[in-house]
Amino acid sequence: MKFTSNGKLLLSGEYLVLKGAGAFAVPVCFSQSMVVEETDEESIIWDNFENDKLWFRARIKPKTLQIIETTDRKVAANLIKILNAADELSNGFVRKLNNIKIINKTDFNLDWGLGSSSTLISNIAYWTDIDPFKLHFAVSSGSGYDIACARSNGPLFYSLINKNPHTEKVDFNPEFAGNINFVWLGNKKNSADEVSSFGRIKKRFHHEIEDISQLSDSLAYAPSLKDFDYYIKEHELIISRILKKKPVKEELFRDFFGEIKSLGAWGGDFIMVTSPRPYSAVKKYFSGKGLNTVLTFNEMVKVW
C-alpha cells in the first residue's frame, strides 16, 4: 500500500486562522509518501527518509505500541502519540498489526517547513481509514489548514467555523504568477510552539479577523500585481501590530525592489516575494543576502 499527501503554504491568515479568520492556503508541489510492506520481523519497523536519506528509524512493539529501539527518542515519542490516537479513532486497527515495515519519504528538505508533520498525519489517516482532521485535532493545537492542503489538488480558502474545518476551492493561477517567488530564510521555526504561544493570547481580534478574512479573498482574486502587492502590505501591517514585530521587509530587506510577505510562523521558513523584475534579478538579490533557495510560483504551488 502507498499513500501520498501534499505539503503546504499559508499565503494569508497566519495566526488569526486559529481565531476563526478566513485563510488562503496552497498545497505545494512537494509531498510525503508512505509505503506499508510486509516483513519477517515480529514488530513494526518505521523508517523516515528525507530525499532518500534515512534520518529516523524505530522498531515498535505490536499491541502495546512501545518503542523497542530508535535513533531519536523525541521523534519516536511524537510518532507513538500519533499512532495511539489513530488506533483509538480506528477501533484498534494499529494495535492489531504485526510483521510490517513502513517507509516514509519526503521529497523536500525537512527544514523548509512545508509540512512533514501534517503530511505524516494525513498518510496515517489514509492508512487507518479515519478522518484526517480528527487525527490532527487529537494530537495538535494547529488550525488544520495544513491537513486541508495535504488532501487538496489546488489552492483553497480555509476557516474554522464553530471549531469545524471548512474548505473552499480557489482557482488561483494569476497572469502575474511569474512575478511571485518563494525564498527560504533558512531559519526553521517550530510551528507548534508558535501556535501554542499565540493561543494563549486572550484578545478576540474581531476587527482584525474581519480585515484578514477580506484580505484573503482579495489576494486570491487580485486582478493585477499592483493590487496583490497592496494587499500584501496591508496584511503585513495587521499581523505586525498583533505580534508586535516588524514586517520581514522592514526588518531584513528594506532595499528589495518589490513586496515581501511572511508565511506561517513569522521569522522562519519561506517568505513570498513579488517583483516586476525577472526571476534572475530576484535570485541575484537574495543570493547576495546568502539565501540561495529561491523557487518560482510554478516550482512551488500546485494548482487545479
Residue 76 in grid coordinates:
519516536
What kind and span of H or E run contains 298?
A: helix 297-300
The reported pLDDT for the residue numbered 265 is 77
Highest CATH level, class, for 2-7+29-140: alpha beta
Q: What is the domain partition of the chain in residue ranges? A: 2-7+29-140, 172-300
**Lowest-pLDDT range of 104-108, 182-186, 204-208, 234-238:** 204-208
> Do the beta carbons of residue 157 and residue 22 sit within 8 Å?
yes
Summarize pLDDT for 111-120 with one digit per residue, the tens.
999 999 999 9
Residue 265 in grid coordinates:
510562523
Distance between start and end Cα atoms, the chain: 26
Summarize pLDDT for 95-150 with one digit per residue, the tens.
998 889 999 999 999 999 999 999 999 999 999 999 999 999 999 999 999 999 99
Residues paired with 35 in a beta bridge: 2, 103
**Lowest-pLDDT range of 17-21, 232-236, 256-260:** 17-21
The reported pLDDT for the residue numbered 202 is 61
Mean pLDDT of 289-297: 97
Question: Rounded CA gap, 153 and 159, in Å?
Answer: 18
Residue 193: pLDDT band (50, 70, 90) is low
Closest CA to 245 of 236, 257, 233: 236
pTM summary value: 0.94
Residues 6+ apart with CB under 8 A from 245: 251, 266, 267
Residues 6+ apart with CB under 8 A from 220: 24, 155, 157, 170, 172
Highest CATH level, class, for 172-300: alpha beta
Question: Rounded CA gap, 119 and 5, in Å?
Answer: 5
